[in-house]
Structure 1
Amino acid sequence: MNDLDVIIDRNGPLLEAKSVSVEVINSYRGKIPEMLLELWDTQGIGSWAKGARSPHLTVFLS
């Protein structure tokens, strides 16, 4: 089990997850941690905070 699996196991699935395109993921490669890119690729983007999604992270999904 890798670190991302542990995080998902502890927190459960993302709430209201939205998929992230390969183009968006690739545009962030080398700029943010690879683990976050893996999360976006495998789980999408969502929240573990009772459904409150950060407006900063949803801007690029529009």
Structure 2
Amino acid sequence: MTRLEDAGVVRQINVDRRNRAYEATDIIDAFTDLERQLASPVSDTRSQPPQRPTPARRSTR
């Protein structure tokens, strides 16, 4: 995990000696974008609504 943290892939979201939690928001955002593209026949849920349930569009940071 240290290597992933140093590379900026994950970041620790809690500080605890025994239990640590990490998040990888860029990876989750990439999967969300892919899932939304696959849900639309034109690969763009902004121009044509999704044909199946999809995760919410990510907010811009």
More strand as a share of residues: 1
Structure possessing the higher radius of gyration over alpha carbons: 2
Relative CO higher for 1 or 2, CA cutoff 8 Å, sep ≥ 6? Answer: 1
TM-score (norm 1): 0.24
TM-score (norm 2): 0.24
